[in-house]
Structure 1
Amino acid sequence: MCSALGALVIASGGLAPAAAASDIQSKQWYLKAMGADEIWKYSTGKGVKVAVIDSGVNPATPSLKGQVLVKDVPKSVAYHATRDYDGHGTGMAEIIAGTGAGGGVKGLAPGAKIVPYRIYGASLKDPKEAEKSPNSTAAIRAAADSDAKIINMSFGSPYYNTDEEAAIKYAASKGKLMFASIGNSGAKSNKKEYPVVDPHVVGVAAIDESGTVAKFSTHGNYVDLAAPGIDVPGWCDNTFTEYCATDGTSPASAIASASAALIWSAHPDWTANQVLRSLIDTAARTWPKDKPGTYLGYGVVRPRRVLINKNIDPGPANVDPLAKENGTADGDGEDAKSSPTRSAKPSAGEKAGGQTSAAARTQDSGDGTRTWVTIGAAAAVLLIAGAGFAVLRARRNA
């Protein structure tokens, strides 16, 4: 079976209703925490294309006008690529490269461009439409053959597919940097998902404003990095009239992809290996880099640290920084990332920093959706603490 979008990670929580669209950017706490205003002095992601393989991307939202390169999608996989029936893919695109126009979500890399791919999933209820839509394998191969540097895959499926893994390896051979959500079953079954389990895919976990891993964020040997994934604004549905506060590893993956776009734009001669290594080297953590944890991997992405360092060493261009996890050092195969490079338990640093699921924010996996922003609604101000991720703070289980 293919990794279908039917298992797409769409975890939405929310806050009480209230603020006008012009206030939505004040809800993007992670932009302040990550130092976006300073980041944009160095890079906006200009010149970098990000392939978003998801539920489709609506290019007509105010924040995405002029940002979505529909003509870059090959006809073989372009069927209704801009028809998004649940708003998920559009939300991911805005998190990455939204301009913030019209009071909408502003992306972390607003100078980047989006190449949309809509794959088969639960939102495609018409059998005829589903039949015409590409699967994840076809979309990944198409993205691999494009000039997009980054592939964001905020979806997951419990089914392993040899064709999909082969497509991912092909994309890696073409120099693509691939990010995927780690999954939202951490507080329940903690089941592994594909494509994040496949070699060459960077698995991204979700954190909250304090830097604490989300309770729902799946943990295991497949976690490589972490990024904000709680109270991130995204479209509530396909009417594109309301934003909701969403929780999940889906937005975390999008923010990691945007972080890579920022770095690649500033260092266009770097390879995917070097961009990824710079993210790993500068990630926020309280544990040794050579002992990645099972909850936050190598730590929380901090692209600002890369951009402000004029003398940063990205390392060798042709050496995979995740060679052991990817099986490029000690063999290969479906579960290469399961090789004993990490303990099945959290590292000592993760425990000391409170970065375990037991120390996570008390909330469910976000099955409910609560309206956060209604276009034209009365204004309400959300106060944001600009703590940032320089130090990961502990939070005890309630």
Structure 2
Amino acid sequence: MTRLTGPAVALALALPGAPPVHLPGDAGTASVRADRATWIVGARPSPAAARVARRARARRLTAGVWLVARRRARPLAAALRARGDLLFAEPNRLSRELQGPPDDPLSPQARWRDAIVDPSLPPPPVTPDSPLLALIDSELDASHPEFQGGNVTTLGGQPVVNEHGTATAAVAAAPANGTGILGVWPGMRALNVPLPGEISCADSVNGIVTAVKAKAKVINMSYGSPSLCFAEYLAIQQAIAAGVTVVAAAGNEFANGNPLEFPASLPHVLTVAAVGPDQRASYFSSASAAVDVSAPGEGILTAVPQAFDSEPPDDGYAHLNGTSFAAPMVAAAAAWVRAARPELTRDQVTQVLRLSAQDLERPGWDAATGFGEVTIGAALQRTPPPNDPLEPNDDIEWIDGRAFGRADPPIFRGRAARTLAGQVDAYEDPNDVYRITVPAHSRVRVAIKPRFGDPDLAVYTRSARGIAERSALLARSQRGAGRSDRLTVRNRAGASRTYYVRIYVHGGSSRLDSAYVLRVQRLR
């Protein structure tokens, strides 16, 4: 199924691009809804940078990312910049849970699970080795009868302040225990990673890092903000690099200007919109080029803490609306597919869920429902596309060691030719960047052959710090759809040199995605 641009919804996304450096008092920072007492500063991971951060009394969030008192942010950034270690700085953005407007308590019970999985399809057996789903959310009510006899646990440490964490966990994992509802994968292994009621960017980063340390294979994030947080983006890329499927709710702001939501609009995140029982996009569900798939999000009967049950009868269950509840359905589906098809990689699991979805709205992909409504049975049968093994590699800082503390090895070292297949998407996977080594006094040909779409090719010098650095652009080829692009890299120096190869979707293409075969070979 193709991913074509369409006129109904603006498709422009604020992709992360170069790491931002925004410090207290800078223009624009006051408009970001953020914690006013703290700031986030990122550095190239190293013992020396860590010592500088600790002297500023900063708290480590993840590798190279530090939470510091607002008044110390500018001196810390200056000290790191003087060492050449500063990567980014930004406000500690606040998010909100993505629960929609309330439903009529007398509305009929929606058979939402049947839309995701045929009731006759048996779920995989649950074992200690089954994929773990981490739900980063508010604290759940572990005493709720819905979770008795199941495998839903919580790390605890937060009070139960609302129904959200309980409701999302039940949608995903409620067991077959004779009580209440069934989750998408009944009794699956699920871990509630509780966050405070008001979620800061630092809280989100902590949740992601905690989920990865717990060896989660799928992460669900049913919260968002209209402000991008680079630290959250970095933590998600670290999770992606660890092989985790990351799922996020698209947002409930379509009727309120339809702003982009983060983390849902970040690359490599499986973004979920909401549909109603009529399989049409929910009136509140945010629409954008980031939307991958959809799932039921209206009148979702699920468990809630007794103290927050505002619906008669007072039984600990309520009908809720929002992309918050569509997302954990897809997250549970991803875990199911990972259990049933362990040979698939993280990227292939995402792709089979997208490409097997039941098409809704206009034919093909659309900004309101993505590729369509997720269907587990179809995903279990879908032939996966070729694996894209080196993700995340969207920019030079992801592969040169600045973001992760270690550099990716070159895909080509000047001897045997190298061929690999990949795929790019203007918003989900905007660039594939690779390191190559060109031997002294030699020429290397870099070529891409399109499998579909219109991929373009560029090569950067070893001095490049990012793909936005035009002064480091050595050459590029944009020959048009269906035609191969080729560039020759000549190293006249007396020693081997590193170059960076970038593959991306042509800016004027009617498709949002392209696939290619890359070949690098020495000419002499």
The amino acid of 2:162's aligned partner reads D
Task: Establish whether residue 186 from structure 1 lines up as the match of residue 264 from structure 2.
Answer: no
Say which SS state the counterpart of residue 326 (structure 1) adopts: coil
For structure 2, the residue ranges without an aligned partner over 5 or more in a row are: 1-90, 309-314, 392-422, 434-465, 469-503, 512-524
Partner of 1:31: 113
- Once the two structures are TM-superposed, the CA of residue 28 in structure 1 deviates from its matched residue by 4.4
Going from structure 1 to structure 2, the CA distance change for 1:89 and 1:341 (only over 3 Å counts) comes to farther
Quick one: distance in 1 between partners of 2:170 and 2:235?
A: 26
Q: Residues 105-116 of structure 1 correspond to what in structure 2 (within 5 A)?
A: 105-116=181-192
Task: Establish whether residue 329 from structure 1 lines up as the match of residue 329 from structure 2.
Answer: no
Partner of 1:67: 151
Quick one: distance in 2 between partners of 1:36 and 1:45?
A: 19
Q: Residues 1-398 of structure 1 correspond to what in structure 2 (within 5 A)?
A: 1-5=91-95, 7-17=96-106, 27-39=109-121, 41-43=122-124, 47-65=130-148, 66-70=150-154, 73=155, 79-80=157-158, 83-122=159-198, 135-235=203-303, 239=307, 241-285=315-359, 292-307=365-380, 309=381, 312-318=382-388, 323-329=425-431
- Once the two structures are TM-superposed, the CA of residue 317 in structure 1 deviates from its matched residue by 3.2
- Answer whether contact 1:50 1:261 (CA < 8 A) is retained: yes
For structure 1, the residue ranges without an aligned partner over 5 or more in a row are: 19-25, 125-129, 345-398
Going from structure 1 to structure 2, the CA distance change for 1:159 and 1:267 (only over 3 Å counts) comes to same
Quick one: distance in 2 between partners of 1:170 and 1:275?
A: 18
Partner of 2:35: none
- Once the two structures are TM-superposed, the CA of residue 8 in structure 1 deviates from its matched residue by 1.2
- Answer whether contact 1:36 1:108 (CA < 8 A) is retained: no
- Answer whether contact 1:182 1:218 (CA < 8 A) is retained: yes
- Answer whether contact 2:146 2:303 (CA < 8 A) is retained: no
Quick one: distance in 1 between partners of 2:185 and 2:426?
A: 30
Quick one: distance in 2 between partners of 1:173 and 1:305?
A: 27
- Answer whether contact 2:117 2:376 (CA < 8 A) is retained: no
- Who wins on radius of gyration, i.e. which is larger? 2
- Once the two structures are TM-superposed, the CA of residue 43 in structure 1 deviates from its matched residue by 3.0
TM-score by length of 2: 0.54
The amino acid of 2:141's aligned partner reads N
- Answer whether contact 1:292 1:342 (CA < 8 A) is retained: no
**Deviations for 1:336-356, whole angstroms, at most 9, x for unmatched residues?**
x99969979xxxxxxxxxxxx
TM-score by length of 1: 0.70
Quick one: distance in 1 between partners of 2:255 and 2:508?
A: 24
Say which SS state the counterpart of residue 251 (structure 1) adopts: helix
Quick one: distance in 2 between partners of 1:341 and 1:238?
A: 54
Say which SS state the counterpart of residue 325 (structure 1) adopts: coil
Say which SS state the counterpart of residue 31 (structure 1) adopts: helix
Identity %: 26
Higher RCO, 1 or 2 (CA under 8 Å, sep at least 6)? 1
Quick one: distance in 2 between partners of 1:342 and 1:203?
A: 23
Say which SS state the counterpart of residue 103 (structure 2) adopts: coil
Going from structure 1 to structure 2, the CA distance change for 1:162 and 1:17 (only over 3 Å counts) comes to same
Quick one: distance in 1 between partners of 2:340 and 2:186?
A: 14
- Answer whether contact 2:133 2:189 (CA < 8 A) is retained: yes
- Answer whether contact 2:280 2:360 (CA < 8 A) is retained: no
- Once the two structures are TM-superposed, the CA of residue 121 in structure 1 deviates from its matched residue by 2.8
The amino acid of 1:299's aligned partner reads G
The amino acid of 1:166's aligned partner reads L
Quick one: distance in 1 between partners of 2:123 and 2:281?
A: 29
**Deviations for 1:162-215, whole angstroms, at most 9, x for unmatched residues?**
111110110110011011111101022111111111222111100011210011
Quick one: distance in 2 between partners of 1:339 and 1:102?
A: 54
Quick one: distance in 1 between partners of 2:207 and 2:299?
A: 29
- Answer whether contact 1:4 1:121 (CA < 8 A) is retained: no
- Answer whether contact 2:152 2:173 (CA < 8 A) is retained: no
Quick one: distance in 1 between partners of 2:142 and 2:259?
A: 33
Quick one: distance in 2 between partners of 1:230 and 1:179?
A: 19
- Answer whether contact 2:176 2:182 (CA < 8 A) is retained: yes
**Deviations for 1:57-83, whole angstroms, at most 9, x for unmatched residues?**
22221222342234xx5xxxx533xx3
Quick one: distance in 2 between partners of 1:314 and 1:277?
A: 7
Q: How many residues are treated as equivalent by the alignment? A: 314
Quick one: distance in 1 between partners of 2:270 and 2:110?
A: 24
Say which SS state the counterpart of residue 172 (structure 2) adopts: helix
